[in-house]
Amino acid sequence: MTIHVLPHPGSIRLGLRENAAQFALLVVVNAFVGAMVGTERSILPLIAVRDFGLAVRAGILSFIVVFGLSKALTNYAAGRLADRFGRKQILVAGWLIATPVPFILMWAPTWTWILIGNGLLGISQGLTWSTTVIMKIDLVGSEHRGLAMGINEFAGYVALAGAAVATGWIAARYGLRPQPFYLGVAFVVIGLALSWFLVRETTSHVALESRLEGATILAPTPREVFWRTSVGDRNLSTVSQAGLVNNLNDGMAWGLFPLVFAAADMTLEQIGTLAAIYPATWGLAQLGTGALSDRIGRKWLIALGMWIQAAGLVVIATAANFVAFGGGGVLLGLGTAMVYPTLLATIGDVAAPSWRSSAVGAYRLWRDLGYVLGALVAGFAADAFGFAGAIWLVAALTGISGVVVAIRLRETLRLGTAAPVRREI
C-alpha cells in the first residue's frame, strides 16, 4: 500500500495560471514523450525494407500493431494505476520502461527485436502520455480544459515532428542505424530526470475539485466506467469511436506514408520533412483549437475535423510530388488538431473527478487500438489494392466517423460559461 503525503489543502489551487510552473514542466516532459515516437516516424518503415528485407506491407506495419496494442492496453491500466499509486510514480515507471528502447532499435539483429522494442515503447507511451494528460486535467480544473489539452498535445506532436525531421536528416548523412537513435537516448535521460526530480504529485488537486463540485455520488466501478466510455454513455462512446478512427488514419500514415513518398522518388531528407509536416501542423494548430473548443463547444469542431482529415487523405492519395504531398499533410494535421484535444476535453467534461482518470484510460484504450486497426487495414489493403487504394479506404472510414459524431454527439460544454455539462448516472 502506498501512502501519499499531500500538501495542506489551503496551499492547493486549481487553474492554469495558479499552477503555471508545474503545468509548464509537464508540457516539457510530454515533449520528450512525443519525441521518443518521432525517432521512428520517418525511418523505421525504411529500415524494415532495407535492413530486414520485408516486402509484404502487412509485415512491415507489424511494428505499429505491436506498438498500438501495447500502448492501448497500458492506457487503460494507466488511469487505474494512477488512482491507486499516484500520478508521479506511474510517470517515472513509464520512463524507466523506455530506457532500453533506443539501444534495441540501434542494434536489433532481427525484426523480432524491433517488435520487442516497439512493445516496450508502447507500454512506456501509455504510461507517460496518459499520466501527463491526467495531471494537466487535475491542475487546471474545468475552465480551461480544452486549452490545457491543446497545449499538452501541441508539445508532444511538435516534438514528434522535430524528431522525425532530425532522424531523417541524420539518416541521410550517416545511415539508418545506429546514429539516428542516439537522440532517443538523450530523450530518455532528460525525460526521466525531469519526472523523477521535479514533477510533483497532483492527486490533491483531484480531491479539491471534488470538494468544490460537492460530489456526493460514489464513483462507479472500473467495469462500469469501461462500459460507459465504450457503449453506455452516448457522448463518451461517440468520442471513443472518433478517437479510434483518428488513430486508425494516423497508424496508416505512420506506416505507409514513408513508403508512399519513397515510391514517388523522394529523398530521405524529403521523406523526413514530409513525415513531419502532418504532426507539426497537428501540434502547432492545437494551441488554437483546444482553446477554441472552450469558446464554441466541442461537437462541431470534432465533426469538421474528421471531415478535413478525410480531405487531406484524398489529396495525398492523388498526389505525385513534394508540394502536393505536403499540402495533404497540412490538411490532415489541421483536421487532427481540431479533433485530438477536443476529444480529451469532452471526456473531462462528462466524467466526474472521482472517475475521470479511469475514463481517460478507457478512452485512450479505444483510441490507440486505432493504431492496430490502421496498420492491419492499411497493410492488407495496400497489398491488395496498392497504396492509393489503402489511403482512399481510410479516408472513407474517417469521413463516416465524422457523420457519426454529427448525428450522435451532444454538446458537452455549456456555451458562454466554459463549464461542462456533466450528467452523473
Contacts 24+ apart (CB under 8 A), 119-122: 119/66, 119/67, 119/70, 120/70, 121/36, 121/37, 121/40, 121/67, 121/70, 121/71, 122/66, 122/67, 122/68, 122/69, 122/70, 122/71, 122/72, 122/74
| Number of domains forming the structure of the chain | 1
Task: Return the bridge partners of 420, or none.
Answer: 413
Residue 212 domain-assigned? no
pLDDT on residue 424? 45
- The helix/strand count (H/E) of the chain reads as 16, 2
Q: Exposure pattern of 359-374 as b/e (b: 16+ CB <10 Å)? A: bbbbbbbbbbbbbbbb
Read off the CATH number of the domain in which 303 is found. Answer: 1.20.1250.20
Residue for cell digits 487535475?
A: 138
Q: Which residues of the chain have pLDDT under 70?
A: 1-10, 55-60, 142-143, 207, 209-219, 414-425
Range(s) of the domain holding residue 97? 14-207+220-417
HSE at residue 194, side-chain half, CA atoms within 13 A, is 21
Rounded CA-CA distance 401/195 in Å is 36
305 burial type by CB count under 10 A (0-12 exposed, 13-18 middle, 19+ buried): buried
Q: Please indicate, yes or no, if residue 90 is contained in any of the structural domains.
A: yes
Asked, for residue 318, whether it belongs to a domain, the answer is yes
Q: Which three cell numbers stand for residue 27?
A: 508540457
Query: Does any domain span residue 261?
Result: yes
Q: What pLDDT, on a 0 to 100 scale, did the predictor assign at position 314?
A: 97
At 170 the pLDDT is: 93
**Would you call 35 helix, strand, or coil by DSSP?**
helix
Residue 162 placed within a domain: yes
Distance CA 360, CA 151 (A): 17
Task: Tell me if 244 is assigned to some domain.
Answer: yes
405-415 exposure pattern, b = at least 16 Cβ within 10 A, e = fewer: bbeebeebbee
d(CA 365, CA 331): 26
Q: How far apart, in whole angstroms, are the C-alpha atoms of residue 217 and residue 195?
A: 33
- Give pLDDT tens digits for 205-241: 776 766 666 554 566 888 898 999 999 899 999 999 9
414 forms beta bridges with: 419
Q: Is 424 within the bounds of a domain?
A: no
Q: What is the DSSP annotation of 198-213?
A: T----HHHHHHHHHHH
pTM: 0.78
Distance (Å, whole) CA 279 – CA 329: 8
| Residue carrying the nine cell digits 489551503 | 10
Whether the Cβ atoms of residue 404 and residue 241 lie closer than 8 Å to each other: yes
Residue 92 lies in a domain: yes
